[in-house]
Amino acid sequence: MARYQLSPHKIDYIFISHLHGDHYLGLMPLLFSMHLHKRKNDLHLYSPTGLDEIITLQLKHSKSVLNYKIIFHPFVPQKSELLFEDEAIIIESIPLIHKLACAGFLFREKQKPRRIVKEKLIEGMKLQQLVTLKAGADILDEDGEIIYKNEDFTKSPRASLSYAYCSDTAWNPSMIDQIKAVDLLYHEATFLHADLQKAEETKHSTASQAGEIAKLADVKKLLIGHFSARYKNLEDLLQEAKASFSNTELAIEGATFTLED
Protein backbone atom coordinates (compact mmCIF):
# COMPACT_ATOMS: atom_id res chain seq x y z
CA MET A 1 0.00 0.00 0.00
CA ALA A 2 2.86 2.38 0.79
CA ARG A 3 4.51 1.55 -2.52
CA TYR A 4 1.38 2.54 -4.44
CA GLN A 5 0.61 5.51 -2.17
CA LEU A 6 -2.68 4.10 -0.89
CA SER A 7 -3.72 5.58 2.42
CA PRO A 8 -4.83 3.04 5.07
CA HIS A 9 -7.07 5.77 6.51
CA LYS A 10 -9.39 5.31 3.53
CA ILE A 11 -10.07 1.69 4.54
CA ASP A 12 -13.14 1.16 6.69
CA TYR A 13 -14.07 -2.42 5.70
CA ILE A 14 -11.81 -5.47 5.29
CA PHE A 15 -13.02 -8.84 4.00
CA ILE A 16 -11.03 -12.00 4.83
CA SER A 17 -11.89 -15.11 2.81
CA HIS A 18 -10.48 -17.75 5.20
CA LEU A 19 -7.98 -18.23 7.98
CA HIS A 20 -4.97 -19.67 6.21
CA GLY A 21 -2.03 -17.48 7.16
CA ASP A 22 -1.34 -16.01 3.73
CA HIS A 23 -4.77 -14.37 3.86
CA TYR A 24 -4.59 -12.67 7.28
CA LEU A 25 -1.03 -12.56 8.67
CA GLY A 26 -0.50 -9.10 7.17
CA LEU A 27 -3.49 -7.78 9.08
CA MET A 28 -1.82 -7.13 12.45
CA PRO A 29 0.92 -4.89 10.98
CA LEU A 30 -1.79 -2.97 9.13
CA LEU A 31 -3.86 -2.55 12.30
CA PHE A 32 -0.87 -1.27 14.25
CA SER A 33 0.10 1.08 11.40
CA MET A 34 -3.40 2.55 11.55
CA HIS A 35 -2.97 2.94 15.31
CA LEU A 36 0.41 4.67 14.96
CA HIS A 37 -1.08 7.05 12.40
CA LYS A 38 -3.74 8.07 14.97
CA ARG A 39 -6.74 6.46 13.30
CA LYS A 40 -10.00 7.25 15.09
CA ASN A 41 -12.70 5.80 12.81
CA ASP A 42 -14.19 2.36 13.45
CA LEU A 43 -12.79 -0.49 11.36
CA HIS A 44 -15.09 -3.33 10.25
CA LEU A 45 -13.58 -6.81 9.77
CA TYR A 46 -15.59 -9.51 7.97
CA SER A 47 -14.32 -13.08 8.19
CA PRO A 48 -15.15 -16.65 9.14
CA THR A 49 -15.37 -17.19 12.90
CA GLY A 50 -11.99 -17.10 14.63
CA LEU A 51 -10.38 -13.89 13.40
CA ASP A 52 -11.69 -12.03 16.43
CA GLU A 53 -9.93 -14.51 18.72
CA ILE A 54 -6.68 -14.29 16.74
CA ILE A 55 -6.56 -10.49 16.91
CA THR A 56 -7.75 -10.01 20.49
CA LEU A 57 -5.23 -12.60 21.72
CA GLN A 58 -2.35 -10.71 20.11
CA LEU A 59 -3.58 -7.42 21.53
CA LYS A 60 -3.95 -9.02 24.96
CA HIS A 61 -0.45 -10.48 25.15
CA SER A 62 1.21 -7.39 23.70
CA LYS A 63 -0.78 -5.28 26.18
CA SER A 64 -1.91 -3.09 23.30
CA VAL A 65 -4.98 -0.87 23.12
CA LEU A 66 -5.77 0.57 19.70
CA ASN A 67 -6.85 4.19 19.21
CA TYR A 68 -9.89 3.02 17.26
CA LYS A 69 -12.60 0.39 17.56
CA ILE A 70 -12.60 -2.87 15.61
CA ILE A 71 -16.04 -4.28 14.84
CA PHE A 72 -15.99 -7.98 13.95
CA HIS A 73 -18.55 -9.43 11.55
CA PRO A 74 -18.17 -13.24 11.56
CA PHE A 75 -20.02 -15.13 8.85
CA VAL A 76 -20.60 -18.75 7.82
CA PRO A 77 -18.61 -19.40 4.61
CA GLN A 78 -20.62 -22.47 3.64
CA LYS A 79 -23.64 -20.37 2.66
CA SER A 80 -24.14 -17.16 0.74
CA GLU A 81 -24.88 -14.23 3.03
CA LEU A 82 -25.58 -10.54 2.58
CA LEU A 83 -22.60 -9.03 4.39
CA PHE A 84 -22.92 -5.32 3.70
CA GLU A 85 -25.27 -2.87 2.02
CA ASP A 86 -25.41 0.89 1.74
CA GLU A 87 -26.88 3.35 -0.75
CA ALA A 88 -24.27 2.45 -3.39
CA ILE A 89 -23.25 -1.20 -3.10
CA ILE A 90 -24.25 -4.71 -2.01
CA ILE A 91 -21.64 -7.26 -0.85
CA GLU A 92 -22.39 -10.98 -0.58
CA SER A 93 -20.27 -13.97 0.36
CA ILE A 94 -19.70 -16.76 -2.19
CA PRO A 95 -19.25 -20.29 -0.78
CA LEU A 96 -15.98 -21.80 -2.03
CA ILE A 97 -14.39 -25.26 -1.71
CA HIS A 98 -11.09 -25.36 0.17
CA LYS A 99 -9.33 -27.18 3.02
CA LEU A 100 -10.61 -24.56 5.46
CA ALA A 101 -14.07 -22.99 5.40
CA CYS A 102 -13.64 -20.31 2.75
CA ALA A 103 -15.72 -17.71 0.94
CA GLY A 104 -15.31 -15.36 -1.96
CA PHE A 105 -17.02 -11.99 -2.18
CA LEU A 106 -19.42 -10.52 -4.72
CA PHE A 107 -19.53 -6.74 -5.02
CA ARG A 108 -22.46 -5.24 -6.95
CA GLU A 109 -23.11 -1.56 -7.46
CA LYS A 110 -26.71 -0.48 -7.10
CA GLN A 111 -28.35 1.50 -9.88
CA LYS A 112 -26.61 4.83 -10.19
CA PRO A 113 -28.46 8.18 -10.40
CA ARG A 114 -29.42 9.63 -13.75
CA ARG A 115 -26.91 12.11 -15.17
CA ILE A 116 -27.74 15.79 -15.42
CA VAL A 117 -27.15 17.34 -18.86
CA LYS A 118 -25.62 20.65 -17.77
CA GLU A 119 -26.17 22.31 -21.13
CA LYS A 120 -29.94 21.91 -20.73
CA LEU A 121 -30.25 23.41 -17.26
CA ILE A 122 -32.33 26.55 -16.89
CA GLU A 123 -31.14 29.53 -14.88
CA GLY A 124 -32.79 29.64 -11.48
CA MET A 125 -33.24 25.89 -11.03
CA LYS A 126 -32.75 24.95 -7.38
CA LEU A 127 -30.32 22.39 -5.99
CA GLN A 128 -33.13 20.24 -4.58
CA GLN A 129 -34.74 20.17 -8.02
CA LEU A 130 -31.50 18.81 -9.49
CA VAL A 131 -31.42 16.14 -6.80
CA THR A 132 -34.99 15.18 -7.72
CA LEU A 133 -34.10 14.99 -11.41
CA LYS A 134 -31.09 12.77 -10.70
CA ALA A 135 -33.39 10.46 -8.77
CA GLY A 136 -35.43 10.03 -11.94
CA ALA A 137 -38.49 12.10 -11.03
CA ASP A 138 -40.16 15.08 -12.70
CA ILE A 139 -40.35 18.46 -10.95
CA LEU A 140 -43.93 19.32 -9.98
CA ASP A 141 -45.58 22.50 -8.79
CA GLU A 142 -47.90 22.74 -5.76
CA ASP A 143 -50.84 21.56 -7.88
CA GLY A 144 -48.99 18.49 -9.10
CA GLU A 145 -48.39 19.86 -12.58
CA ILE A 146 -45.06 19.13 -14.28
CA ILE A 147 -42.67 22.09 -14.31
CA TYR A 148 -39.58 20.27 -15.53
CA LYS A 149 -39.78 16.88 -17.22
CA ASN A 150 -37.00 14.54 -16.15
CA GLU A 151 -36.15 13.28 -19.62
CA ASP A 152 -35.57 16.87 -20.81
CA PHE A 153 -32.69 17.44 -18.38
CA THR A 154 -31.10 14.03 -17.75
CA LYS A 155 -29.67 11.02 -19.52
CA SER A 156 -29.39 7.37 -18.52
CA PRO A 157 -27.24 6.51 -15.48
CA ARG A 158 -23.81 5.00 -15.90
CA ALA A 159 -23.80 1.22 -15.89
CA SER A 160 -23.58 -0.45 -12.48
CA LEU A 161 -20.49 -2.67 -12.26
CA SER A 162 -19.93 -5.98 -10.49
CA TYR A 163 -16.83 -7.81 -9.25
CA ALA A 164 -16.51 -11.36 -7.93
CA TYR A 165 -13.42 -12.25 -5.90
CA CYS A 166 -12.94 -16.02 -5.63
CA SER A 167 -9.77 -16.77 -3.73
CA ASP A 168 -8.75 -20.30 -2.75
CA THR A 169 -11.13 -22.83 -4.23
CA ALA A 170 -11.25 -26.18 -5.96
CA TRP A 171 -13.36 -26.64 -9.11
CA ASN A 172 -16.64 -25.08 -7.98
CA PRO A 173 -19.44 -24.96 -10.57
CA SER A 174 -22.00 -24.39 -7.79
CA MET A 175 -21.03 -20.70 -7.71
CA ILE A 176 -21.72 -20.08 -11.40
CA ASP A 177 -25.29 -18.85 -10.95
CA GLN A 178 -24.23 -16.37 -8.27
CA ILE A 179 -21.44 -14.80 -10.34
CA LYS A 180 -23.30 -14.93 -13.66
CA ALA A 181 -22.37 -12.11 -16.06
CA VAL A 182 -20.22 -10.13 -13.60
CA ASP A 183 -18.03 -7.47 -15.16
CA LEU A 184 -14.87 -8.79 -13.54
CA LEU A 185 -14.04 -12.17 -12.01
CA TYR A 186 -10.89 -12.81 -10.02
CA HIS A 187 -10.35 -16.56 -9.79
CA GLU A 188 -7.41 -18.41 -8.37
CA ALA A 189 -5.29 -20.43 -10.80
CA THR A 190 -2.72 -22.05 -8.57
CA PHE A 191 -1.69 -24.85 -10.94
CA LEU A 192 -1.38 -25.76 -14.59
CA HIS A 193 -3.80 -28.47 -15.67
CA ALA A 194 -0.88 -30.88 -16.00
CA ASP A 195 -0.80 -30.74 -12.20
CA LEU A 196 -4.53 -31.39 -11.78
CA GLN A 197 -3.90 -34.14 -9.22
CA LYS A 198 -2.00 -31.69 -7.02
CA ALA A 199 -4.81 -29.15 -7.41
CA GLU A 200 -7.38 -31.72 -6.30
CA GLU A 201 -5.25 -32.79 -3.31
CA THR A 202 -4.86 -29.21 -2.07
CA LYS A 203 -8.34 -28.05 -3.11
CA HIS A 204 -7.09 -25.47 -5.54
CA SER A 205 -7.88 -24.79 -9.20
CA THR A 206 -5.96 -24.99 -12.45
CA ALA A 207 -5.75 -22.13 -14.92
CA SER A 208 -7.86 -24.16 -17.32
CA GLN A 209 -10.58 -24.58 -14.69
CA ALA A 210 -10.56 -20.85 -13.93
CA GLY A 211 -11.10 -20.14 -17.62
CA GLU A 212 -13.88 -22.71 -17.81
CA ILE A 213 -15.70 -21.16 -14.82
CA ALA A 214 -15.44 -17.73 -16.47
CA LYS A 215 -16.87 -19.13 -19.70
CA LEU A 216 -19.74 -20.96 -18.00
CA ALA A 217 -20.60 -17.88 -15.93
CA ASP A 218 -20.46 -15.65 -19.02
CA VAL A 219 -18.37 -13.03 -17.23
CA LYS A 220 -16.91 -10.08 -19.13
CA LYS A 221 -13.31 -10.29 -17.91
CA LEU A 222 -11.21 -12.78 -15.93
CA LEU A 223 -8.18 -12.14 -13.74
CA ILE A 224 -6.19 -15.13 -12.54
CA GLY A 225 -3.84 -15.20 -9.57
CA HIS A 226 -2.57 -17.13 -6.50
CA PHE A 227 0.08 -18.86 -8.62
CA SER A 228 2.20 -21.69 -7.22
CA ALA A 229 5.85 -20.71 -6.78
CA ARG A 230 6.80 -23.77 -8.84
CA TYR A 231 5.97 -21.86 -12.03
CA LYS A 232 8.62 -19.38 -13.12
CA ASN A 233 6.84 -18.49 -16.37
CA LEU A 234 3.35 -17.17 -15.65
CA GLU A 235 2.69 -16.86 -19.37
CA ASP A 236 2.00 -20.62 -19.42
CA LEU A 237 -0.81 -20.15 -16.89
CA LEU A 238 -2.21 -17.21 -18.83
CA GLN A 239 -2.27 -19.07 -22.14
CA GLU A 240 -3.92 -22.11 -20.53
CA ALA A 241 -6.73 -19.97 -19.09
CA LYS A 242 -7.11 -18.10 -22.39
CA ALA A 243 -7.67 -21.39 -24.20
CA SER A 244 -11.00 -21.56 -22.34
CA PHE A 245 -11.70 -17.83 -21.92
CA SER A 246 -9.90 -15.37 -24.16
CA ASN A 247 -10.47 -12.16 -22.15
CA THR A 248 -8.10 -13.19 -19.35
CA GLU A 249 -5.22 -11.32 -17.73
CA LEU A 250 -2.73 -12.02 -14.97
CA ALA A 251 -3.44 -10.40 -11.60
CA ILE A 252 0.03 -8.95 -11.08
CA GLU A 253 0.68 -6.64 -8.14
CA GLY A 254 0.51 -3.01 -9.21
CA ALA A 255 -1.36 -3.65 -12.45
CA THR A 256 -4.41 -1.50 -13.15
CA PHE A 257 -7.51 -2.78 -14.95
CA THR A 258 -10.23 -0.40 -16.15
CA LEU A 259 -13.81 -1.56 -16.60
CA GLU A 260 -16.16 0.10 -19.03
CA ASP A 261 -19.19 1.72 -17.45
The string of pLDDT tens digits covering residues 120-175 is 888 888 888 888 888 889 988 888 888 888 888 888 888 899 999 999 999 999 99
Share above pLDDT 70 across residues of the chain, in percent, rounded to a whole number:
100
124 Rama class: left (phi>0) / alpha (psi -120 to 50) / beta? left
Give the whole-angstrom CA distance, residue 82 versus residue 91. Answer: 6
Percent of the chain clearing pLDDT 90 (strictly above):
76
Distance between CA 90 and CA 177 in Å, rounded? 17
Closest CA to 88 of 158, 156, 155, 138: 158
- Strand pairing report for 222-225 and 139-140: unpaired
Cα diameter, the chain: 73
> What are the start-end ranges of the E strands in 17-166?
43-48, 70-75, 82-85, 89-95, 103-109, 115-116, 139-140, 146-148, 154-155, 162-166
In this predicted structure, what is the pLDDT of residue 214?
A: 98
- H helix and E strand count, the chain: 7, 14
**What pLDDT, on a 0 to 100 scale, did the predictor assign at position 155?**
86
- Of the listed ranges 3-12, 100-109, 192-201, the least confidently predicted one is 3-12
Residue pLDDT, tens place only, 55-80: 999 999 999 999 999 999 999 999 99
Q: Is the pLDDT of residue 261 over 80?
A: no
Domain ranges of the chain: 1-75, 81-111+158-261, 115-155
CA angle 133–139–142, rounded 5-degree value: 155
CATH architecture of 81-111+158-261: 4-Layer Sandwich (3.60)
Q: How confident is the model at residue 106 (pLDDT cuts 50, 70, 90)?
A: very high
pLDDT at residue 77 in the model? 97
Backbone angles phi, psi at 14, to 5 degrees: -125, 135
User: Annotated active-site positions, please?
Assistant: 22
∠ at Cα 77 (76, 79), nearest 5°? 80
Residues 165-208: tens digit of each pLDDT: 999 999 999 999 999 999 999 999 999 999 999 999 999 999 99
